[in-house]
Structure 1
């Protein structure tokens, strides 16, 4: 069965879950501190709720279809490409506490559509889709993003005060010296507009760990910093409004008695 998929940005996850629980008369199929999902049989619907402190473009996050298997998903993509609609498939994406195979495309007005199949559940959110993703808008925000697996430039290739948001995904899981870490933060604040958002996604530990030798995709992690050290560095760089968006109750990994947790932090450049 193909299910219609709708994802909404919500400002208060608890209130939204209560509303849709009453509306559908069912409990959420998945409920986390930073994500919720309802599934209904009649109509066949998958509704996901994405907490978004500062929604851009209104409550609609994206639309989509969930297919029952990869073969039907690929057939859909082939049909769309034959009609001139280009997309890019992603295999084994960890997203929304699940492993998925998917592709994305936009309609002429910029509305994002996701077509995917569910490969299985996981116990962490994953990086394939996060609550800070900004969907197609009339005037898209200017975003700079660095990922752990990409080269880290000495300077961000942007003029000062031109970015709406800087996203550092796993950047601080690289083996950076204190000076290099401070330079990355200073450079991020340099390119942000006043009031611009800094988002940091990092694996932190109760104590620092070098070369943790983690399994799977986490094998790219070469250093695990301490959460308190990260907070001090961000505040020392001059960022304001620091908030921990996620600091898991359950560790993702434990190595040599050191618990390591998925951590998401946001802060802002002073106005």
Structure 2
């Protein structure tokens, strides 16, 4: 298998401007297939803009490819079948039942005006059970808390069964136990061969990824394995050396700089 075939996403010289302001500056990035890649960096680094550009949701200059195929050559149906998207602060129809919201993830596989198939219903149920939201299936989305809605929107993304899943701040409004549940779901997706790319503010959670992309001021300043010292030093640098990444009980944790290394 060629190197190109093992890349799920590829960007070359990617630039994006929003409201006449340059946000991304010639970003080049390779995302390996079947791995979890996490994008981190300070506020205003361009993380969400990069994710939306990779998803084809923003006009951009440069080249973007999914699985070696230029994004510009893919029609909307092909894009929808290959990529599931979970955006930050998404606005959904709050009067829809939870099961109907998640069924939206199956639309790329349904003919126009056709009723969902038994397989579609099975995929919806599996996604809702995975996110522990099945018991809410007949409730309106607007009746749920912010964290509960986030789990439903994650189920919608999972129901699409796409080979690529991009998530922008998926842990927003989730309490710590459900953040751990999300981590387990990502690990299951990765084990099934899904390529996951997420933007996270929670550096401690990001350190569980396969690879980390570190951004600052609209540029990628480092990309590498999450467990490498060089990656940790790059994260510390973009946060102004205010945090320190140290080993603790077999894993990496993030501490304020003043705390130093645990005994």
- Whether the TM-score (by the shorter chain) exceeds 0.5 is no
Normalising by the smaller structure, the TM-score range is 0.3 to 0.5
Structure showing the higher strand proportion among its residues: 1
Structure with higher helix content: 2
- Give me the TM-score of the superposition, normalised by structure 2: 0.32
Relative CO higher for 1 or 2, CA cutoff 8 Å, sep ≥ 6? 2
TM-score (norm 1): 0.32
